[in-house]
Structure 1
Amino acid sequence: MKWLSVLLQAGLSQAALRFGCSTVSIQRLDPLVEPGAIPSAHVHQIVGGNAFNATMTGDIGEQGSCTTCAYTEDFSNYWTAVLYFRHENGSYKRVPQYPNAQLGTEGHDAPDIKGGMTIYYTQKDFNGNGDKYITAFQPGFRMTVGSPTTNTLEAAKANKGLRYTCLQTILTRGSETPDLPKKPCPAGIMAIHHFPACWDGKNLDSPDHQSHMYNTNLGAFLEAGPCPASHPVRMPQLAYETMWNTTQFDDMWPKDGSQPFVWSYSDNLGYGTHADYVFGWKGDSLQRAMNDSCMFHACGSPGAQGILKTQTVAEMNECAVQNTVTEDTEGWLSELPGQKMPMKFTA
C-alpha cells in the first residue's frame, strides 16, 4: 500500500508518531467500562504507564513512575482484549504478541520489546500535514472504540477503523478484513484499531465512552473525514496495531478447517473487536509533538535531541504493574477467564 512505502522512506518531515510499547500488564481489569470491578469480565492486554489500576481518575500523566512506551513522557494507557487459540479438545491458550517492523531489538544481544503493541498519532495521513490545527487530548481524557456486543458482519464493516490483516510477513499491509482470518497466516494476525478524531470540545468522557467523540475514520491510515459542527475539534488520529504470533498453532489447526482463534470475551469471528484509551502524556508534550514537523523516529531520541525523549527497550520492559487479579493467563486453560458460559457467535 502507498502509506507503507512512505513509511519506509527516509528524510520525511510530516508530523506523525509511531512507537512501540511493551506489555505493562495482562489481567482482568477495565477501569473505563467496569471501574472498580476486580476482576472485570474478560482479560485485557495493557501497555503504557504503571498507574494502570481498576479505578483510574484524574491526570494519569502525573501518577505513574514509569512507562512501557518508547517516549518517556507518555504515561497513557492503551489496551485491547486478548486473543486465544481454542484447541480441538476445548482448551485455550493465550496467543503471544511480537514487536512490529522497525520497532524490535536495539542491536546485537539487546532485549526485544516484550509483547505490547504499536501506537500511532497522525494528523492527516502519511503523505502530508494537512491544514488543520490538531488539538492534543487533555488531562483526564478517555475513550473507547468498537464494542464486544457487535455480532454481525454488517455492523463490523461499518466501522472502517477496526480491521485484521493476515500477515504473510511482518511488513504485510493491506488486504484488511472485518473478521478474523479463516486460514493459518504465515506471520500471524495483525489487529488494527483506529479511534475517532473529532471531539465535542467539552467532555473528557461520556457515559458510553464514545459520544463525546465523532467517528469519521476511513481506516488504512487515510485522513479522517471532516468533523461535524457537534464535534468540531480535530484531535490526533490515534491507532493501535497488535501483532499476534499465531504461528505456533499452525500444526494444531482444526481438522475441519474451522477458525480456531477467539477473543477473551468469546468472540470467534472478530466482529466485536474493541480498544480503550486513557490519555496520560505529561504536560504539553503531545501538543509539542503535534505542533512539530517530525516524522516517526525523528520525533525523539535519547537525551534532548528530539522534540520528545525516548528510553531504551530494556527500560521499557522493566516497567510493569503488579497483578490485582491472580489467575493463569499463560497455560492451557479449560475455559476463558470470566467466560464460564461463552457466547456463541455465528456468521
Structure 2
Amino acid sequence: MQFKSFMGVLLLAQGFRAAQTVLRFGCSQIVVERLDPLVNPGTNPSPHVHQQNAFNAAIPVSDVSSIANCTTCSFNQDFSNYWTANLYFKARNGTYKRVPQIPNRGNTGEQGGMTVYYTTPYDGKTKVTAFKPDKGFRMLAGNQAQRATGGVTKWNAICFRCYTAPNFGGDNSAPCSDTSVDSVSLPAKACPGGMRTTIRFPTCWDGVNLDSPDHTTHVSYPASGTFESGGACPSTHPVYLPQLMFEVIWDTSSFNDKSIWPTDGSQPFVLSQGDNTGYGQHGDYVFGWKGDALQNAMNAGCFGATCSALTTQAFADANKCAVPNTVPEQVDGWLTSLPGM
C-alpha cells in the first residue's frame, strides 16, 4: 500500500492526469555489450556499447514474444526490447569507467536497467493504437551522431536531470520541465544524487509501415507542440500511438570528486559512442508484447506498475532471465579507450 501511495503521488507530481493510462514499470538490465540489432543488425560487435533486455545481434521481423523465453520486466506479457547507449566517466588521466545504473525511485528489485512508460494523451480522451503483434514493429528515438541542439530535442525527446540531493530527493517535477535540474546536454556540474536520462519516442504512426530504413520516418512527433501539450499528429502519420518513454538512472556519486575531472573543469561524462555533449543520446525499441496485452492495458485506464488487464512477476524471477554475452571484450573497470572507439 505504501508503494502504491508513493507511486500515485510521484506520477501526479510529474504532471500525469488521473484519466490517463500510465503504465510505469521497471525492467532489469540483461546485458551490457556492443550489439545493436536495430541500427546494426547482425553485426557483432556493433560500433558502441548498449545496455538492454531480451536481446541478440539480430532480431527477426516477427512476433518477438514468441521467440523470447523470458523477460526482465515486471509485466510478464512484455517481451519487448528496450536499449540505450551507456554512459562513461572520463577521468583527468584519460581513462574511462562505465557509470553504473541503479533502480529508479519507487522501484524495488531491478538490477540496473530502466523504467519504461506507456502513456495515453493528456486529454484523457484520445484513443491510441498499440503497436501490432506478430509484425515486428520497431523504431528509434534520437540520433547517435547528433552533437548540437535540433532534431528531436525540439520535442523534449531527450533530456538529462541532475539530481542535486542525495538519494534522488526533491526533484519530482515532470521530465525536461525544470531548467534548474534539467538540460538537453549532459550536466556540466557534479550531481550528488545521480543523473537521469529520459528518452521520449514518436507518438504518431503512418498506419502502414512497421519500420523504415532509418527506423524513424514511419513514425513522427506531433505536427506542432508536443505530446504533453496535446499537439496533433501530422496528416502523413495520423495514427496516435502511446508515448513510450525510457528513464535511466546513472549512479554518478562515485565520480563527484572534482580532482579527477578534466583540468579545465568541463563535464567529464561521455556516451558510449564517444559523445560528450549528450545530444546524441538515443533509444531503440522492438515491440514484443504478447497478443493484445498492451492494447488491453491502454484501454483499461491502468496507472503505475499494476494493471487489471496484465499480470506481473516478482523481480526475483525476472532477474533470472539472462542472455549470454557474445562480445568478448572488457566494458567495465578502468579502460584506456571506449569499447569500439
8 Å contact from structure 1 (residues 161, 220) kept in 2: no
> How many angstroms apart in 1 are the aligned matches of 2:264 and 2:201?
36
Q: 1:253 deviation in Å?
A: 2.9
Are residues 1:238 and 2:244 paired?
yes
Q: Which residue of 2 aligns with 1:189?
A: 195
In the TM superposition, residue 180 of structure 1 has moved relative to its aligned partner by 0.3
Give the aligned partner of residue 127 of structure 2: 133
Unpaired stretches in structure 2, ≥5 consecutive residues? 1-8
The 4+ residue runs of structure 1 with deviation greater than 6 A are: 217-221
Distance 1:145 1:155 in 2: 10
State the partner residue of 1:54: 57
Aligned length: 318
The offset of 1:297, in angstroms, is 2.8
- 1:143 maps onto 2:139 in alignment: yes
Does the 8 Å CA contact 2:155/2:226 hold for their aligned counterparts? no
Q: Find the partner of 1:167 among 163, 168, 171.
A: 163
Q: Deviations over 1:142-199 (max 9, x none)?
A: 0001111112234574342111111124252433211000010111110110001100
Deviation at 1:272, TM superposition (A): 0.9
Q: Give the structure 1 partner of residue 331 of structure 2.
A: 329
Pairwise CA distance, 1:307: 1.5
TM-aligned CA deviation for residue 201 of structure 1: 0.3
Following the alignment from structure 1 to structure 2, what is the Cα–Cα distance between the partners of residues 74 and 332?
Answer: 35
Q: Distance in 1 between matches of 2:249 and 2:141?
A: 19
Give the percent of matched residue pairs that are identical in Structure 1 and Structure 2.
Answer: 49
Secondary structure of 1:314 counterpart? helix
Aligned-partner Cα distance in 2 for 1:250–1:221? 35
Q: Distance in 1 between matches of 2:306 and 2:78?
A: 16
Match of 2:6 in 1: none
- Following TM superposition, by how much is the alpha carbon of 1:217 offset from its aligned partner in structure 2, in angstroms? 8.7
User: Would the alpha carbon gap of residues 63 and 331 (structure 1) be closer, same or farther in structure 2, given more than 3 Å must change?
Assistant: same
Once residues 152 and 79 of structure 2 are traced to their aligned partners in structure 1, the CA distance between those partners, rounded to angstroms, is 31
User: Which of 281, 289, 293 matches 2:297?
Assistant: 289
**What are the within-5 Å matches in structure 2 for residues 182-331 of structure 1?**
182-216=188-222, 222-251=228-257, 252-299=260-307, 306-331=308-333
Gap change, CA 1:41 and 1:319, over 3 Å in 2: same
Instruction: Provide the secondary structure at the position in 2 that maps to 1:315.
Output: helix
| 1:63 to 2:58 alignment | no
CA separation of 1:64/1:314 partners in 2, compared to 1, >3 Å: closer, same or farther?
same
Q: TM-score normalised to the size of structure 1?
A: 0.86
Instruction: Label 1:219 to 1:225 Cα distance change in 2 as closer, same or farther (>3 A).
Output: closer
Deviation at 1:91, TM superposition (A): 0.7
Partner of 1:74: 78
Deviations 1:222-276 (A, max 9, x none): 2551111111100100000100111111113334311100000000011111110
Return closer, same or farther for 1:205/1:224 CA change in 2, 3 Å cut-off.
farther
Structure 1 position 313, deviation (Å) = 1.5
Mapped to 2, the partners of 1:218 and 1:166 lie a distance apart of 28
How much is the aligned-residue C-alpha RMSD, in angstroms?
2.3
Contact 1:86 1:261 in 2 (8 A): yes
Q: 1:121 to 1:308 in 2, by over 3 A?
A: same
Letter in 1 for 2:297: A
